[in-house]
Amino acid sequence: MKKKWLNDDLNRLLAKLSKMMRLTTAFIFLAVLTVHAKSYSQQTRLSFSFQKTSIADVLSFIEEESEFYFFYKENELHADRLIDIDVAKEDIHQILDKILTGTNLGYSIIDRYVVIAPKPGENIRATGQQQPRSVAGKVTDSSGAPLPGVSVIIQGTTQGAVSDMNGNYSLTNVPGDAILLFSFVGMRSQEIPVAGKASIDVTLEEEAIGIDEVVAIGYGTIKKSDLTGSVSKVKSGEINAFPSSNLLQALSGRSSGVQVIQNTGAPGASTSIRIRGANSIQGTNEPLYVVDGFPINNPTALNNSDIESIEILKDASSTAIYGSRGANGVVLITTKRGKEGTNFVDFESSYSSQSLIRKLDLMNATEYATLYNTKAVNDGVAPYFTESEIKAFGDGFDWQDLIYGTAPILTTSLNVNGGTQKTKFSISGSVHNQDGIIKGSNYNRYSIRTNLDHQFNKKFSAVLSGTLSRLDTDRKDSGQGSRGNTLIAAQFAPPSLSPYNEDGTYSILSVVYPFVAPDLINPLNFIHEQSSTIRANVALVNAALVFTPVEDLTIRISGGVENRDDRTDSYTTRNFINSDGSASVSTSQYTSLLNENTISYRHSFNDDHQISALAGVTYQDFITTNLSGSGAGFLSDVFETYDLSASVTPGIPGSGYSKSVLLSYLGRINYSFKDKYLATASYRADGSSKFSKGSKWGYFPSAALAWRISEEDFLKDDRVISNLKLRASWGATGSQAIGPYVTLNQLSSGKTVFNDALYNSFAPGTNLPGNLKWETTKQTDFGLDMGIFENRVLITADYYIKNTEDLLNTVVLPSSLGFTRTIQNVGKVQNKGFELGLDAQLARKKDFKWNMSANISFNRNKVIKLYNGEDILTGSVNAVALQDNTRILREGRPIGQFWGYLEDGYDDKGKIKYVDLEPDGKLTSDDKTYLGDYNPDFIYGVSSNMTYKNFELNIFLQGSYGNDIFNLSAVAYAYDFVSGMNMIRDVLYDSWTPTNTDAKYPLVSRNTTVNISDRFIEDGSYLRLKNIQLAYSVPVQKLSLLRSLQVYVSGQNLLTFTGYSGWDPEVNSSGLGVDNKTYPMSKSLTFGFRARF
Amino acid sequence: MNKNGYLNEIRLMILPAIVVFVSMLCASCEDLLEENPKTLAVEKFYNTAEEVETAVHAVYGTLRSNTMVEQVVILDAHTDWGYGRGSRADYNNLQGFNAANINNAGSRWNMFYLAIRNANLVIQNAPGGSSISQPDIDKNVGEAKFLRAFSYFQLVRNWGAIPLRTEENMTQKDLAKSPVAAVYDLIVSDLTFAENNLPETQALVGKATKYAAKTMLADVYLTLGNYAEARDKANEVIQSGKYSLVTVSGKADFQQKLFGPEIITTPEEIFYFKYSRQAGEGNWILWVLSHPSTGNFNFGGAYAHYSDASNSFYLSWSDDDIRKSLWDKINFGLGPNTLVSSKYIDKNAVEQGRGAGNDLPVYRYADALLIYAEASCMASNGPTAEGMEALNKVRRRAWGFDPNTPSPADFEVTDYTKASFQELVLRERAYEFIFEGKRWYDLKRTGKAAEVIQPAKGITIAEKAYLWPIPVSELDYNKALDPAADQNPGY
């Protein structure tokens, strides 16, 4: 009766709602499902009915419907005996009594574990041969950490115990010949004969890489075996394997289909991720990051050791639940939460020493003077240096040594974890202090994280996840630039000069050497006299109220806030060259409010049909405001940026505001039949304020099917294949790709001068607003998951095709229009690819274990259609001596296509000749062609994990093959003779002369010019030893306070195999394959320990 | 728990959830998705005199950008005396542009057309403003037309036939080129409108006036060879009595009293682009031209453009001419004869890029005088006494004499023919307007570029160097243009 009331009530309410709501479909299915709602739970009574069903099946049914686990010996229970049973709202005791009626078996319930065994006294085993005694011991996992909650049963009896928080257990009255059965979910059970021992310590091992592990999918979790989509999981051990200044760096090479792009090596710098290639021309192509359910921009404020797991959703079936934000994939980040029955403190700390991976082989002072004298001769001017001067120079000064040094990273984190049945918590605090290898740069992150779960009663629980982070960054990563006007470009200062004058002031390079460009600034100016500090407070707080009105139905109402307050202080002292002191302060405040309301339902019918469904409505807004001020001309450096009004000329203050809103409805159904046939369908409708009226809503459906062939009878007992699943999915996802207000014809304010004063001006910008709608990516994915040899080897393979349509694309307008660009929904891009992941347990002996995993991903990117078929030239670079577009967007070619001239040796004066492809005797833009492509042919990662007794050796290799790099840095260090910069040694020894016409470099002359050509395109393939770690688990069982302790030494980026001639193949300044004088990557050596108390 | 209790609990708890759901699903959700930026929109602007005026300011703002400085220095590299350093050497070689310089020319094209668009917006929208008076409309449209004419005058002289965008066709994406004559027709018509509608003086120095329009019109007529009209327009400026030359007694006066950073205005100013010692609002030309060793600019300088003391232009220049002293000999790797300009100096600028207070002259009274001198000679088929006096005024001032009193530096009208007098004026203009971007135009309009530049620099100007390439950003995307046929010769 109760049930019927509930359903009628809900039905009425929902029916009313449906009328009010436009999106009725989601709720209709909810209403339908609710009719079938039944209530089962551990506490509540169960109802079921079976005829002629084996006891084993009945028990396994109860296991699935409750939280109980049964332990029994099949021969004792006669588990294949068929019984008829009919229970209606009976508790576990009543049910078991029915099942065991007429047997000599009894049962006992320990926590969630039900042990069925012969009743005492009816034990057929002869007792008294050995005296019963007490047995105690400790259960640990393979890392030595204590395992609480392990059930320890005396086999064949109902007698048992559960290990406590320290992993300790004790049993009394144990027969001397008894066998103890240790079991724990997710661990391989062990049977250990007592054999008269009073103390038995046991180490439980994790089950082979489980297909039964749970993975997060959007708005829920699912057993891996039930997945229909393509989802990769990266676990905390991999994320935390070595210190990295942000979480995303730790993903590199860990999952197939995921390319991690490091834009600079600066500490704390952002990292780009491409999942299955780039879809969008206009958009960022960054995936959506979701932290504990909260979609955020960039997860850099999180501390690596707080992460439990990262799931990467790749195919459209997985990402479509994120609709308009799913096109570039979704990265779900789950932080650590407390677990019931645990209580421990983790303390980890590491110290790393970083250094430059590779110094450029620049000329010494003698070589420098010789080169520039050669240049003077070639240019017909008097030599700059006399022979005796050149001889006296020697090696001169090494500016690279001045700029780069070794730098420490210190990381410390403390995590307190615990939980009772009602309340679970995880609280952590962490500090990451990193100095950069460029002097004066650093990144410091302090964060506190709290996760709380509380169960009020059977129906209500609440969840809180919160992070507060403080990020302090001193930046010295002012790369790019030209002719030495940035710190990194200034390392090309003449080696024959030194940084200080005799009176201790900074030398002015262009004054000492008149042929040196005034842009080439003594690096000490940047190191000591210029500062840029970013301080950010980031808060990410998310809370939810979870209501379970009836078993299987969960309503979740959550709200969250992401807030980031940034302040950047930049100051140039009066001591900086040509400076009266200048200061600027800019702040920005970003706030995102989130409200998500979901209702989910899970049920199984007749044991064969499993269904779970989800529906929800979400709201998220994004508000950014900013404020900036500046001042120039200070009486003293003492003010720094803290008294702008003390400046002679305060700058014009600036401020701004933007807001966008995303409103969404979502729904998903998962269905499985007999665990063999799995289906998923999802739908999301997104409304975004960014798009034009009438085009604000986008609709994103998806569907997926999977077939677990290994559950079919013909394969069920196969000795080789332990798991085999085929998957197919299709879905549509979107990308917003534009900022707020792009569709509006706004006026921007400006200034002009009359008299000597400023007056306001208003005019539109140069981007013509367009009528815009969503960019849509349709993806088809075919996948295979296979486990062989009892899942000791797991294989995952996926093939996908992604077509992005209505591409938001820049359309170039004739510049005489005054508007130079507009954005339109035109164009198509396709990504096709293949991914393979492999996990293998090569050895699992007691003392020696060896796991290996490897992944490889191939992606092919192609522009299918552009506006009017017109090419779009992009990737504009400006190195003064070389200014042009580096890339072309053209139908049939990849997005990363480099574009320029082909070289044809040198002319008789040592100038570079170019191939006249359009033979008209002139070098025009018609002579340009394809030079290369920054997209790799494939990327890969290999990791190996060996443990021998207490030792553990991890090796992690990561690489990329077939990607091209545009080496723009080379313009500075090999061609730009006008500026008087130092150059790489080769230029002196292998430049064109009348006798060396086949030289690597053209004539050394101020008239030497270069164009974008194949000269600058290099193979960027590399293989890198990303991490190697040797760890030792200190045996600590004897100590009571310390539960486990691991010490380790590791090295990052110690070895790199590459043919690339620049600093590093992994860094490129624009993220698009251009190396332009970027903060270089570092290698490091790390010492650390991980302790659990 | 009884039935009703259970139900009540359900209601109690489920209702808030439903309220949240419903509130999200309400009819107002479309309102949630409406954008309300804190900015002005084109559709709701140009209604009051104040709004229209700020829209006119945007035309000035665009032209004042660094690109106008770039235009001036590049034009002056196209001369007998001017050179560009490094990648800018192609400008003085006059053999056509390399890829980087083509891009650079394209960005100046874009800037002039952006100014034209901003002017067109005013010309189109101001007359329809909801609360603006007719005099305010006329004045603002007059300024917009003046600036549109200025932009087209720069475009037509460097690129030849070009798309002619007016308020009539400003949104038409594909637009064919108009012949040079049609461009000049619009320039003349715009300037005539400006001349008739602009006030004689503006409250704010730097805004176009009636006499600025007349001076530019004189310049346009001179360029077109309509000498009588040029003479008359220049004479109207002279006869207005509003302008006079600034008297100087030495180099420092030129640097401070005529082109100095602290000047608000001078009696010589007809139309200048105004700059101020404010971060981002100053004149970039000081960075482009200065050399750090002179201390003329307190942020050093890039000395990207320079001259040479062994050039015949400099060698034949009288040492008594103070203007010649506005060059410093600095050897920065190109030899001891390298000359760096010290015409524009500011030792108290506020930043390196745009922090100097010096204005950028477009039309000075000296220009009106020299246009008059040349035009009166050409119109009368021989030098006139009035023309010679106008020329002598400029010359006297440059030699440190009172401009209005005969001096030992004076030329005698009887010594000159029509041709030699024009030569004399052109030479005086060359001395007077260094780094004001006039010499190349003078050489081109008089057809003397080849004969003047060959002896000075020893180069033969390539035919293609007379017009700059139409940028790819126009040719490739304006479907009314044929990328091959409509490109200027040689590109």
Name the residue among A756, A925, A1011 with its Cβ closest to that of B472. A925
Ranges of residues in chain A whose predicted pLDDT is under 70: 1-44, 74-75, 110-111, 120-131, 143, 185-186, 206-212, 477-479, 1037-1040, 1068-1071
Question: Which residues from chain B sit within 8 angstroms of residue A753, using beta carbons?
Answer: 64, 206, 274-276, 278, 281
A332 touches A445 (CB < 8 A):
no
The chain B residue lying nearest A376, using CA atoms, is: B333
Q: How many CB atoms lie within 10 A of CB A801?
A: 15
pLDDT at B2: 47
DSSP conformation letters of A840-893: EEEEE-SSEEEEEEEEEEEEEEEEEE-GGG--EEEEEEE-SS-EEEEEEE-TTS
pTM here is 0.79
User: Does A763 contact B357 at a Cβ distance shorter than 8 Å?
Assistant: no
Averaged pLDDT of chain B: 92
The distance of B406 to chain A (nearest Cα, Å) reads 34
Name the residue among B100, B162, B357 with its Cβ closest to that of A883. B100
Confidence of residue B82 (pLDDT cuts 50, 70, 90): very high
Mean pLDDT of B151-160: 98
Query: Which tens digits make up the pLDDT trace of B189-248?
Result: 999 999 999 999 999 999 999 999 999 999 999 999 999 999 999 999 999 999 999 999
Burial of A67 (0-12, 13-18, 19+ CB in 10 A): exposed
pLDDT at B22: 54
Question: Which residues from chain A sit within 8 angstroms of residue B51, using beta carbons?
Answer: 762
The B83-84 sheet, strands edge to edge: B83-84, B305-308, B338-341, B327-329
The chain B residue lying nearest A880, using CA atoms, is: B87
Q: What are the residues facing A418 on neighbouring strands? A: A343, A425
User: Does B117 contact A460 at a Cβ distance shorter than 8 Å?
Assistant: no
Question: Which residues from chain B sit within 8 angstroms of residue A630, using beta carbons?
Answer: 279
Residue A197, phi-psi category: left (phi > 0), alpha (psi -120 to 50), beta (remainder) = beta
- Say how far apart CA B163 and CA B176 lie, in whole Å: 6
Question: Which residues from chain A sit within 8 angstroms of residue B37, using beta carbons?
Answer: 657-658, 740-741, 744, 746
The chain A residue lying nearest B167, using CA atoms, is: A817
User: Does B293 contact A511 at a Cβ distance shorter than 8 Å?
Assistant: yes
> For an interface test with B, which of A752, A890, A1006, A1010 has the most B Cβ atoms less than 10 Å from its Cβ?
A752
User: Does A817 contact B113 at a Cβ distance shorter than 8 Å?
Assistant: yes
User: Does A752 contact B61 at a Cβ distance shorter than 8 Å?
Assistant: yes
Question: Which residues from chain A sit within 8 angstroms of residue B13, using beta carbons?
Answer: 459-460, 547, 549
- Say how far apart CA B27 and CA B31 lie, in whole Å: 8
Name the residue among B103, B205, B265 with its Cβ closest to that of A884. B103
- Say how far apart CA A1063 and CA A474 lie, in whole Å: 22
SS3 A168: strand
What's the half-sphere exposure (Cβ side, CA atoms, 13 Å) at B384?
Answer: 18
**Helices A55-65 & A92-100 angle (0-180, nearest 10):** 170
Q: What residue type is assigned to position A12 of the chain? A: R
User: Does B333 contact A747 at a Cβ distance shorter than 8 Å?
Assistant: no
For residue B412, give the DSSP letter. P
User: Does A687 contact B29 at a Cβ distance shorter than 8 Å?
Assistant: yes
> For an interface test with A, which of B4, B39, B183 has the most A Cβ atoms less than 10 Å from its Cβ?
B39
User: Does A5 contact B41 at a Cβ distance shorter than 8 Å?
Assistant: no
> For an interface test with B, which of A599, A753, A885 has the most B Cβ atoms less than 10 Å from its Cβ?
A753
Question: Which residues from chain B sit within 8 angstroms of residue A979, using beta carbons?
Answer: 86
The distance of B288 to chain A (nearest Cα, Å) reads 11
A1051 touches A1008 (CB < 8 A):
no
Question: Which residues from chain B sit within 8 angstroms of residue A748, using beta carbons?
Answer: 39
The chain A residue lying nearest B86, using CA atoms, is: A978
Number of helices followed by number of strands (H, E) in chain B? 19, 9
Q: How many CB atoms lie within 10 A of CB B37?
A: 14
Q: What residue type is assigned to position A963 of the chain? A: N
Question: Which residues from chain B sit within 8 angstroms of residue A578, using beta carbons?
Answer: 292, 298-300, 352
User: Does A882 contact B100 at a Cβ distance shorter than 8 Å?
Assistant: yes
φ, ψ of residue B342 in degrees (nearest 5): -125, 30
User: Does B41 contact A884 at a Cβ distance shorter than 8 Å?
Assistant: no
- 3-state DSSP helix/strand/coil percent for chain A, to nearest 5? 15, 50, 35
Question: Which residues from chain A sit within 8 angstroms of residue B291, using beta carbons?
Answer: 518
Query: Which tens digits make up the pLDDT trace of B412-468?
Result: 999 999 999 999 999 999 999 999 999 999 999 999 999 999 999 999 999 999 999
Question: Which residues from chain A sit within 8 angstroms of residue B116, using beta carbons?
Answer: 816, 818
User: What ipTM describes this predicted complex?
Assistant: 0.92
pLDDT at A379: 86
**Helices B180-197 & B134-159 angle (0-180, nearest 10):** 150
User: Which residue reads 């010096």 in tokens?
Assistant: B358
Name the residue among B13, B162, B300 with its Cβ closest to that of A547. B13
pLDDT at A44: 55
Name the residue among B36, B57, B110 with its Cβ closest to that of A820. B110
The chain B residue lying nearest A744, using CA atoms, is: B41
Integer-rounded Cα Rg, in Å, for chain A is 34
pLDDT at B249: 93
A305 touches A428 (CB < 8 A):
yes
Chain CA centroid to CA A224, Å: 20
User: Does A978 contact B173 at a Cβ distance shorter than 8 Å?
Assistant: no
Burial of B424 (0-12, 13-18, 19+ CB in 10 A): buried
The distance of B41 to chain A (nearest Cα, Å) reads 4
User: Does B37 contact A657 at a Cβ distance shorter than 8 Å?
Assistant: yes
